[in-house]
Amino acid sequence: MTDQDTPLSPLSPRHERFVLEYLRDGNATHAYIRAGYSRRGAQPSASRLLRQPHIDAAIAAGQQRIADALEVSVERLGREYAKITFASVDDFVSVEDDGRLRVDLEKASRAQREGILELKLSNHSKPEQTVTLKLGKLQALAALTKHVGLFAKRPEPKPAPVDSARYEKVIAKLGEELWETKELLCDAAEERDEAQAALATAHAALAAAGLDPPTQDPDVPPSPGECQGPSAAPDLRGEKEDNSNPCAIDPPQAAPEEPPPHVAGAGNGTILRNATRQPPSGPTWHDIIRNSRFPGQ
């Protein structure tokens, strides 16, 4: 919901009296006192009342009703101001054949005649004549404009004290975060400058030693193609194994050979496993045991 859609709180009897008194002469301090408030602190208190939205809206509505009743508009006031601003003495006097001046109000329009406060023409024996023209309508227009509130600068709405405190707290927090971010950026910039200086020193030392600086960034991992093993096993006869490839993978280790089992038999002998050994010709030890005769048989 926007501020325009928010309903305004109704006026209290004293606030309504303050609005009516303010519409009389436009003096907030006097209206505050005439409304029944204390004279002490009348000026700041009246200013606070004028800043309240519901009181400001009531004053604007009252000024609009007065302007409608008097048929006063911005266009009409502008026309009247223009007539007075561009008024000239030539609109009120005429020059006779003998060169003397004569007041001639028929030349002036009704609006110009209504604005005359004083028109004085001095007729002395001297050939010079003086014309004094005073237009008093300007002050009346200014008072009327102020009374109905036209061309007046409205005070900008301000947030409530609770909202102001919350906004100030949020703004202060954002300011602290911005300051911390700036400090982190400054620290990062200093570390970057130090790293660049150290790198330049290292390159200079390598150049002095006659060595070329590395072309690859040590932080960048090697490409997958560099980590691929050779397609065929190299012939290492008479040559030393090349371990320059950091990505070379060692061949898997063979499983340890199991010890031969112990078999209880004739002579408690041990049978060794040998996949390439052929069985002996003649009877086996199973046949010897099966055909042996023991006591009691």
Reported as a single tens digit per residue, the pLDDT across 75-112 is: 777 777 777 666 677 777 777 777 777 777 777 767 66
Q: What mean pLDDT, rounded, does the chain reach?
A: 71
Shared domain check, 95 and 139: yes
SS3 at position 176: helix
Residue 64: inside a domain, yes or no? yes
Cβ(119)–Cβ(92) below 8 Å: yes
Q: Which helix (H) or strand (E) holds 255?
A: none
pLDDT digits (tens, 9 = 90+) for 108-140: 767 666 666 666 666 655 555 566 666 666 666
Residue 209 confidence (pLDDT) = 81
Residue 260: inside a domain, yes or no? no
Shared domain check, 163 and 106: no
Rounded average pLDDT over 274-283: 59
Shared domain check, 85 and 120: yes
Residue 173 confidence class, pLDDT cut points 50, 70, 90: confident
Burial of 55 (0-12, 13-18, 19+ CB in 10 A): buried
Residue 24 scores a pLDDT above 70: yes
In the chain, what percentage of residues exceed pLDDT 70? 46
pTM of the complete model beyond 0.85: no
Rounded average pLDDT over 130-159: 62
Residue range(s) defining the domain that contains residue 106: 77-148
Cβ(37)–Cβ(45) below 8 Å: yes
**How far is Cα 61 from Cα 7, in angstroms, rounded to an integer?**
15
Residue 1 confidence (pLDDT) = 42
Residue 50: inside a domain, yes or no? yes
Residue 18 confidence (pLDDT) = 92
Radius of gyration of the chain (CA): 56
Instruction: Report which of residues 155 and 265 the model is more confident about.
Output: 155
Residue 241: inside a domain, yes or no? no
Residue 279 confidence class, pLDDT cut points 50, 70, 90: low
Residue 3 scores a pLDDT above 70: no
The CATH number of the domain where 19 resides is what? 1.10.10.1400
Residue 127: inside a domain, yes or no? yes
Encoding tokens for residue 98? Answer: 């003998």
**How far is Cα 136 from Cα 134, in angstroms, rounded to an integer?**
6
Residue 92: inside a domain, yes or no? yes
Domain count, the chain: 3
